[in-house]
Amino acid sequence: MKKIIYVLALTIISFGAKASETNVNSRVLEAFKADFNHATNVQWTITNDVSKVSFNYNDISYYAFYNNNGELMGTTRYVTLLNLPIKLQSSLRNDYGNYWVSNLFEVNNADGLAYYITIEDADSKIVLKSDNGKDWTKHSKKVKA
């Protein structure tokens, strides 16, 4: 499940074909309306196994992922450094002060809340992960060409 949400979250920008509400599986649509009754700016993207919906809720942009049975697999949203727990902010400053942030998002699913941050310097790109606001762990590292 963790791997699925991570893959889905990384493909937020490019994901399947856009769909109108009339093309959305009825179970998925009913579940979404029950979960996020006051959502605005709703846009659907459908693949064979997953329906992704982007929307605003309480003036915050979210992405939610549903399987074809209408079960919510998880939500993601972009966040800023200020949205991170203070412990994670301090750790970034102390351990990765020479890096800049190129991507930061939150994943909320059955496993709990996780943060993924991509930090870069001139030579490398590192993805760090924090489960439930605990310490950062190195998820991946890529050397720039």
- The CATH number linked to 13 is 3.10.450.360
Q: Which residues lie closer than 8 Å to 128 by C-beta, 6 or more apart? A: 96, 116, 117, 118, 119, 136, 137, 138, 139
Nearest by Cα to 104 from 132, 141, 129, 75: 129
Q: Is residue 56 domain-shared with residue 94, that is, in the same domain?
A: no
In this predicted structure, what is the pLDDT of residue 19? 57
Q: Is residue 65 domain-shared with residue 105, that is, in the same domain?
A: no
Full pLDDT tens readout for the chain, 145 residues: 555 554 454 444 344 455 566 688 999 999 999 999 999 999 999 888 899 999 999 999 999 999 999 999 999 999 999 999 999 999 999 999 999 999 999 999 999 999 999 999 999 999 999 998 899 999 999 998 8
Q: Is residue 55 domain-shared with residue 89, that is, in the same domain?
A: no
Q: State pTM to two decimals.
A: 0.80
Q: Which residues lie closer than 8 Å to 68 by C-beta, 6 or more apart? A: 25, 27, 28, 49, 50, 51
In this predicted structure, what is the pLDDT of residue 12? 43
